[in-house]
Structure 1
Amino acid sequence: MSDVPAAWSEPDESPESDAADSESVEIQQVIARYAERIERLKAEVGRIYIGPERTIDALLIALFARGHILLEGVPGVAKTTLVRAFSRTLNSEFSRIQFTPDLLPSDITGTYVPNLQTNEFILRRGPIFANIVLGDEINRAPAKTQSALLEAMQERQVTIDGTTHQLESPFLVLATQNPVEQEGVYALPEAQLDRFLLKIVIDYPTPDQEFRVMKTHQVAPRPVEPILGADDIAVLRKAVEAVHISDELIRYIVALGNFTRNHEHTSLGASPRAALALLKAAKARSVVQGRDYVLPDDVRILAPSVLAHRVLLLPEAQLGGIESHDIVRQALKQVPYSE
């Protein structure tokens, strides 16, 4: 029996206002039903990853909004640990791709190999054929190899030797990268950066957090418990689509994007696709927070993580020490929101 409310899948013959009210009640019921499990999932990940809860929230937002997430930080700040713990809370297939300078695109997607018994070619699937894909140190590989992820991330499919293969749902890429100032890394192309719904910077832990890390590593932790399965994720994604957002908030999102495009220090501002990504992320955050409507704070909190990596600066601005986050923060300060 499906968990998806009937009001979402069958036409309602009642008057339009009654149908809208009924759907709103259904959404509220779904969100309330999953609220405890979402909190339990966050607690499970928090046993293994000791860091800000908002980072775990970001993973859930990307999952529920059908997006992908890029985690940036120096080596040793538990990026991979976070992704592994999160993937284990989802009853889904997991794979890991360690990006290196000699990694080939076929190492990601797979290739056809001869079957000597049947004299036919069979597909040897690469690690991209999984529900949760960890792309570890993605900027250690050159652009040609990085581009192997593009089609999969955008279209949920891969093409191997001219044949297209659909990827299973859910499909989520959780990529980690080292800061570009480090040796042996390649800057991600703009087209690939745009495929990531969110970019989260993971800093060094606070002394208190690092103390807790030391304490927890003295004993082996119990295995992470699976909390959500593919059917649950499908229901929550449907709930995200039905979350209410006002016209005023949509105009606010559009205004933020326009601010970055018209800024004197930007060569490329946030595109309409970036604005749509912010809308989707804000709706997903509402569900993670247990609401069926978007608040202005949902937009404000997520704007830097959604927009900054899509904003490119002029060379002189970069030389002056200005960062993309500065442009987004300026937009949040100067663009008014009218209720």
Structure 2
Amino acid sequence: MDKIFLGIDTSNYMTSICFIDENRKVIFENRQLLLVKDGEKGLKQSDALFQHVKNLPQLFKEAKGLTEYKLSAIAVSKAPRPVEGSYMPVFMAGLAVAESMAATFKLPLIYTTHQEGHISAGLYSSQNILQNDRFMAVHLSGGTSEILLIENNGTNFQIEKIGGTLDLHAGQLIDRIGVALGLPFPAGRFLEDIARRSSSDFNRIPSAIRGFSFHFSGAETEAKKRIQLGEAAEEIARSIEHVIAVSIEKVLRKAMESGHPKEILLVGGVAQNQYIRDYLIRRLEHPSIGGTLHFADKNYSGDNAYGVANIALNYYLTKGK
């Protein structure tokens, strides 16, 4: 029987499972966005954990086309990031299922993190293959906004944080302004939709950076002031996209000028935004800068278990055979 590999990820707002084969082809995947009440800006960890516990059995019940394969390894996100003290209760739901399955069927179980899953998803879904094992990565989401130096050794990643937010995460900025504009939470795709109606001479919000790090709290204050003054929603939405893009451009440019790799992978839900993508490509791939940008496929920019499944496969290919 052909072998398949399972990834499980239970993040703040998504329950995800994914089965892939030895060629990294998706055999079956399933996701469920966690429910947030209208007007709310997020979920308590206890509420999110409860939803994961309810979602996981249903996601597996809907699995199709797996009976002709042999499950050979499981990987699961056990924490947000691969650093000491990184912990969120939501990951206990996926961990319980993965450990139960591995113990019952005597399968290798690989512990990873949500951030490593995002990086892996970017590596294996990017339109172009990265040319180097050492590269920079930008992780932009509701819970993380970091500039990372990555060493890929084939089975896992050595990750060094070299910069990032000093206050709000990029996704938090988008969600807070989106909710203030009356958009549903999470607000990313809704804010992007209305921003498309903006004029090209929208009122820009100044960016604030320090070294390889940046601030978004000032942008939140300014955007909320503009909402109160009655500025058009599409203009405010575009100014939020723009201040995120400019901030990331400035810190990446500084990092490259300081000798960090010019090959860059961008992952996370905020990295789905097309305006931010186009702006960074235009500015950083300019011949005078010389950067090479890679983006996760939009289907795998947001929270997913595809990257986690690939970590299970990588372990099998190097240690599990």
Using the size of structure 2 for normalisation, the TM-score is 0.22
| Greater Rg over alpha carbons, structure | 1
Q: Tell me which of the two structures has the higher relative contact order, counting C-alpha pairs closer than 8 angstroms and 6 or more residues apart.
A: 2
Normalized per residue, the structure richer in helix is 1
Normalized per residue, the structure richer in strand is 2
Using the size of structure 1 for normalisation, the TM-score is 0.22
